[in-house]
Amino acid sequence: MLTKAPKGTKDVLPGESEKWVYLEGLFRDVCKTFGYNEIRTPVFEHTELFQRGIGETTDVVQKEMYTFEDKGKRSITLKPEGTAPAVRAFIENKLYAGAQPTKLFYVTPCFRYERPQAGRMRAFHQFGIEVFGSDNPSIDAEVIALAMEFFKKVGLQRLSLRINSIGCPKCRKEYNELLMKYLDGKKDSLCETCIDRIDKNPMRVIDCKNDSCKAAISDIPLMLDHICDECSDHFEKVKTYLQSMDVEFEIDPRIVRGLDYYSKTAFEIISEDIGAQSTVCGGGRYDNLVSELGGPDTPAIGFGMGIERLLLTIQNNDIELPVQKGLDIFIVTIGDVAQAESMNILSRLRENGISADKDHLGRSVKAQFKYSDKQNARFTVVLGEDEMKNDAVTLKDMKTSKQFEIKLSKLMEEIKERL
Ligand code: ATP
Ligand code: MG
């Protein structure tokens, strides 16, 4: 127990962590070019926020939350997603009082008590964005385009974007009645969760992963065929703007976000090659959530993207991320004088932003070279007393195995030139 991480969690070790840093940087850069600013919210919130913000009928709230009572007897929940906390922060900090829309992005850990499998963890991470204060379809298109632009920058070209409209409270009401009637006739073939959903939130049945439910509802009425004129007009504009931004999409009328607060645009970005857990990014409009949580009437839209699933997709597509694997230079030392001098050289190299290291275990020269190789050093320089006296050291290019005589006093310039 003591030396085993809890089920569904994973350490990100050197070798892998560089990819995380790279992707985080790339995501931040893309968000900035779209005019989004970073928000950081706490790792835990009052449980009630998620119950209201995600919805009582969702899997997340019913089964997956890490909820506990703190020493002050408050019910606290580790955040299972980033939207509800962002909405809470938007209201609490009166961000609505500033110029709108408020365009936010985040990088956050999330916690869900799920059955761990590839691409499904208990502690995982998300990139996300949320926009508050605009109901214009241009924002829907922008949010989707931002995700697609990020994937493009990562090098992922084969992801498929699926969009849908799930209507608004007005058209949903009539549709829900239609669904309830339809589902009442299918009760015998539905799982218990879905039977429970019929009265509470019938549209969520479409999202059920259970095979017998899937088969039973193959001809279920779809929201997209019943949306009102306003929603239809909105959806048409989203499509037009996406086309105008050269973003390819498919229409998938079976995408549901499944909450009363969600409305109009819903979308998913799917990777066909990471197995069952294929949704890398999911998002949609939630025009009624801010007011539902006690804020002023504020339309909003956002997405969440699973970083672990993103990394799986990157791996399965054989994409090499441009991360630096090792050191710029390793100093091999011979003798005590060289040892002392190497500490000075290291300082100067590092000051100049050149990554550098030396042996710290008193290894033989041969072992130092071996270690340098393991550190993936780009260059190795050999420092001995004689070499130092003559201001002539050997620089070895570890990629080509070529060696050069250089002046020790010019080491910095030489390295900078060759890197
Ligand atoms: P799924 O249908 O796969 O359970 P979801 O609808 O619960 O996904 P969202 O709440 O929309 O997922 O979260 C957004 C993204 O976060 C997902 O598309 C996925 O990439 C990622 N994600 C969700 N749950 C997990 C998890 N347990 N482990 C790793 N990534 C996850
Ligand atoms: Mg889930």
DSSP-derived secondary structure for 166-221: ---HHHHHHHHHHHHHHHHTTGGGS-HHHHHHHHH-GGGGGG---HHHHHHTTT--
Look up residue 214 and give its two tokens.
């899937």
- DSSP strands (E only) in 289-368: 300-306, 329-334, 356-358
Q: Considering only the C-alpha atoms of the chain, give the largest distance between any 2 of them, rounded to a whole number of Å.
A: 93
* CA dihedral of residues 24, 25, 30, 34 (deg, nearest 10): 90
Residue ranges, the chain, pLDDT below 50: none
Angle at 228 between CA 223 and CA 230, to 5 degrees: 125
- List pocket residues of ligand 1, CB cut-off 6 Å: 81, 112, 114, 119-121, 124, 126, 277, 279-282, 304-306, 308-309
Using alpha carbons, list the distances in angstroms from residue 56 to 10, 49, 50, 196, 411: 29, 11, 9, 12, 65
Per-residue pLDDT, 130:
98
Q: How far is the CA of 257 from the centre of ligand 2 (A)?
A: 11
Contacts of residue 55, Cβ cutoff 8 Å, sequence gap at least 6: 61, 201, 258, 259, 260, 261
Contacts of residue 247, Cβ cutoff 8 Å, sequence gap at least 6: 141, 144, 145, 148, 161
Cis ω on the peptide bond leading into residue 296 (within 30° of 0)? no
Task: Kindly identify the ligand whose nearest atom is closest to the C-alpha of 119.
Answer: 1
The residue whose CB lies within 8 Å of the most ligand 1 atoms, and thus the one to mutate among 160, 262, 279, is 279
Q: Which atom of ligand 1 is nearest to the CA of 310?
A: 20
Per-residue pLDDT, 309:
96
Contacts of residue 364, Cβ cutoff 8 Å, sequence gap at least 6: none
Q: In what order do the strands lie in the sheet with 67-69?
A: 44-46, 75-78, 67-69
Q: Which residues of 322-332 are buried (b: 16+ CB within 10 A; e: fewer)?
A: eeeebbbbbbb
Contacts of residue 209, Cβ cutoff 8 Å, sequence gap at least 6: none
Domain architecture of the chain: domains with CATH: 17-168+227-316 (3.30.930.10), 329-418 (3.40.50.800)
Q: Report the nearest-CA residue for atom 28 of ligand 1.
A: 120
Q: Which residues are annotated as a binding site for L-histidine?
A: 81-83, 112, 126, 130, 257, 261-262
Q: Are 47 and 40 in contact (CB under 8 A)?
A: no
Q: In terms of C-beta distances under 8 Å and separation of at least 24 residues, what long-range contacts does 150-154 make, across chains too?
A: 150/26, 150/27, 150/30, 150/305, 151/269, 151/280, 153/26, 153/30, 154/23, 154/26, 154/310, 154/314, 154/319, 154/321
Find how far residue 106's CA is from the centre of its chain: 9
Q: Which atom of ligand 1 is nearest to the CA of 119?
A: 29
Per-residue pLDDT, 258:
62
The residue whose CB lies within 8 Å of the most ligand 1 atoms, and thus the one to mutate among 257, 269, 277, is 277
Cα separation, 268 vs 266, in Å, equals 7
Can you give the pTM of this predicted structure? 0.93
* DSSP-based three-state secondary structure for 283: strand
Q: Which of 315, 173, 145, 114 is nearest to 247 (CA)?
A: 145
